[in-house]
Structures are given as structure tokens and as C-alpha cells.
Amino acid sequence: MFTVKDFDQMAQLGITREEVMQQIEVFKTGFPFPDIVKAATPRKGIRVLTEKEKSSAERRFMHFNGSACKFIPASGAATRMFKRLYELADSKNYDDIFFRDIRKFAFYDDLEKTGVFNTEDISYVIKKLLESDGLNYGQLPKGLLKFHRYDNETRTPFEEHLIEAALYARSKDGKVAVTFTVSPEHMELFKELAEVKKREYKVRYGCEYEIIFTTQKRSTDTIAVDLDNNPFRLNNSELLFRPAGHGALIENLNELNFEVVFIKNIDNIPKESYFKENCRWKSILAGVLIEIKEKIFNYIERIENDFSDSLVSEILNFFETELSTTFPKVPDELVKDFLKAKLDRPIRVCGVVENLGEPGGGPYLVRDSDGSVSPQILESAQLNPDDSRVKEIMSGATHFNPVDIVCSFTDHHGEQFDLKRYTDPETGFISVKSVEGKTVKALELPGLWNGGMSNWNTVFVEVPVSTFSPVKTVYDLLREEHQ
């Protein structure tokens, strides 16, 4: 199946032959569907905080003296954001809202400078916006596109995230750590903008930035196969390895050495006037995380020093009421080690939003391989569309995942967990792509907030929809929160 040249290619990427063979086997067998017990709802699985609980969580984070970092996946190109415009270029449809409201877009002035509005050819306008002889927005990452216009400036999502981070992820000594995952071809563009904004925002917001750029590791790429599950070869006879989706970013997250990490997508950022409410909720989620972490550390210490039947009952009640997790019957001689292992793992608090029809995964309660039932975020692609029971559970789902996560992966000794030990390799996606005019099957690793964090202790907290303002298409920039 493979040649010496193939093994050299794998070695250069840092991928072993065994990994490749395992991936090919997954193409043949597929991924098993998760065993869903029920949708997580405010009745079971999602915490809806009282005003008292919100205030208490805010205060807890306000008194937090540890290190914090904001982690933002930002490597994807904006091509899909402009899918409709590529279609318009062929249709000659002048009546589209994009052209009626074109002056409202923050990039309008830059587009006007190209002289493009001297013509009435809409395909030429779109070409100047999207292609390399114009603004090149079709190939740039979302993080570098102009999203918002202010009286004296325009801002990209990259800039807005830096500003937002200064408002809630600042350490007591005034340092703000922000990590962006970017693609290698755009690294220099991000770095150039970062150098300018670090100096400007230091003066404006009174903080010192630590901006970290990281790229998705090639060692996490997965092999592509043809429709017969044979390794796909490019026209130059090389094997095709593809980025394995955002689940591969667990490697990047694993390199961060902070006590609290906030995770948010690059395109989910409104104008600055919305930051006050957003930052309040980040503080609330972080406060809930710190409270849960303190309780877990206390239980681990008590297990080690004062183990008893009453403590077992107390811990089981904690898991059920605060972590929405239940366990199967465990032999008495294994209970102590079992509970300690379940407590001693990374923690995440996930903000979830009432389901308003937006795309995204949802919160569910899922039966694990050991018989436990725990909270998990699942994408619709992971669910069995032919199972009537699953369809009924999905129809009763009330919330979805906006990727608003606060997490901690230091243990009770202050040591970092190895996050790769807490993923579920049985979770992933197989998709169909076109490469060099041929159809290939591609494999994505467990999603970062799906299987990539499946063995973390998880809490779902309802957050208001006002904290969620994604830009999936260029038309979303016309929404109020971006105007």
C-alpha cells in the first residue's frame, strides 16, 4: 500500500504508519453514533443562574489572582462567508441586499478606493472585493477582514478580540494574554497588525499584551482516501494529508500554561458597545468554573485523607446535581479510585444559548463507554438521522452551543493535564471533498468541544442570546450588533 517515499513523507509530517493505518480503518468502519440519553435542558443538564448566583460568580472571578488567557481559533479562510456573492457574480442580480446596503459595510471605503464603482458591472465589484487584484477578501481569514466601522476607525475581528480581552482577561499586573491559531500563510499579516495594535492599545486601554500565534500542527493531519478507501494520491503521486478540523487544536490548547482559558470563535465578536454585557457573562462563567474547581479539589483532598461512605454519597450527589453526571454501580473496592479519577480531570463551563435556529452543535446527556451519563456537545452530523428515538430527542432540544467556553486544565497539585488523554477517539467526522477534479473522503478528528473534550468535567450554563453575534455570511455584518 505504501512506498519508501510515502514513509518519508509521513516522517516529515510527524505521522506514524500505525496512525495512518488506523485512520484508513476508520474510513472502512465509520464512527459509531453516540448513545444519547436526552437533550440537556434547564430541567436537567443546563444551569439557569439566579441574579444572586450571577453576582456571586462575578465577585469570585473579580478576586481571582491567577493567570488567564483568551484562546481564539482564527485559521479558517473566509471563502464560505462569501458563497452567496460568488453566486451573484454569475447571476447579474443587482437587486441583492448586499448592493442596496453596500455603504454600510466597514470595508466599503477600501473598496471605493479601488475605483470599482466607476462601473455598473456587479461581477467586477465582487471580483475586486474577493480576488487578489482587489481586497482579496475571498482568500483572507475572517480575523483580518474589516467587520466594524467607528467614527474614526474601522476594526477587524482580530482587533476587537484584543480589546475585549483587555476588559476581562487582564491579570492583576495589567498583562493580557491572547492566543490565536492561524494558518502559516497568514501568520505574517497577523503579526504585522499585532505589532501596531499592541502599541496603540497599550496606551488606549492601559495594558501590556502577550499575543501568542500558533498553527495547527501538521502531525495532526489525516490521510485522505478514494471512494474505495484506498490512500488518495495527488497528480504528483504524493499521498494527500489534510488538516483534521478544529479538533486538532487540542494539541495547541495543550501547550498553554494558564489557570483559566477563555475560548471563543474569531467571528463571534460584536462592536465595542456590546462588550460590557459580554464581559459580564465571561466573568460569570469564569466564576462558576472557579467554584466548581475549588469543590473538586476539596473532594480530592478528602478522598486522600478522610475517605468514608458519607463522602461517597456527597460526591455522587455533587456529580449529579452540579455536573449532571451519573455513574453505574461500581464494586466497593474500586469506588475510591473510580471517584478520584472522575474528579481529577480538566474542567469546562460552556455557555449555551436558547435555540433560535442558528447553526451549531447542541448540549446533550450521553452514555459513555463505562456506563456513565455525562454532558456532551454534539454536532448534528454525529447523530443517527434514521433513529426515530434520536429524532425525538433532537426535537426536544432547547439550546445550542455558541462556543463560549471557560476552562481549566491544571490539577490539584498545580500540574498541567495532558489533554490528549481526555479525548474520545471514537468521535469524528467523515466528509466528501473534491481534489484535482476527483472525489476524496476526508477524516476530521474529534471536534475541539465535541470528542476533543468529551472526558472533561462539564457544566452547561444558559447565557443570553445577546452575547452571540457570529458572522457566518457577509450579510450578518448588517445585523445591529455589527452596525
The per-residue pLDDT for range 35-79, each reduced to its tens digit, is: 999 999 999 999 999 999 999 999 999 999 999 999 999 987 788
CA distance 124 to 89: 8
pLDDT, one tens digit per residue, over 2-33 is 999 999 999 999 999 999 999 999 999 988 89
Mind listing the pLDDT tens digit for each residue in 329-366?
999 999 999 999 999 999 999 999 998 766 568 999 99
In 238-341 the beta strands, taken as DSSP E runs, fall at 241-242, 260-264
Domain boundaries, the chain: 4-71+144-482, 80-139
- Please list, in sequence order, all residues whose beta carbon lies within 8 angstroms of the beta carbon of residue 442, skipping any fewer than 6 positions away: 222, 224, 242, 430, 431, 432, 433
pTM of the entire predicted model: 0.92
pLDDT-derived band at 96, boundaries 50, 70, 90: confident
Tell me which H or E stretch contains 363. strand 362-367
Pair type for strands 175-181 and 68-73: parallel
Under a CB-based contact definition with an 8 Å cutoff, are residues 474 and 98 in contact? yes
Is 80 exceeded by the pLDDT of residue 93? no
The residues, any chain, with a CB within 8 Å of residue 408's CB and separated by 6 or more, are 259, 260, 261, 289, 293, 346, 347, 348
Q: Is 222 exposed, middle or buried (0-12, 13-18, 19+ CB in 10 A)?
A: buried
What are the φ and ψ backbone dihedral angles of 48, each rounded to 5 degrees? Answer: -110, 110
Rounded distance between C-alpha atoms, residue 395 and residue 392, angstroms: 5
Mean pLDDT over the full length of the chain: 92
Q: Is 316 exposed, middle or buried (0-12, 13-18, 19+ CB in 10 A)?
A: middle
Residue listed under C-alpha cell 469564569: 286
The length of the chain is: 483
Is it the case that residue 119 has pLDDT exceeding 80?
no
Pairing of strands 457-462, 347-354: parallel
Q: What is the pLDDT of residue 243?
A: 81
Domain 4-71+144-482 of CATH type 3.30.300: no
Question: In this structure, are residues 215 and 187 in contact, taking their beta carbons and an 8 Å threshold?
Answer: yes
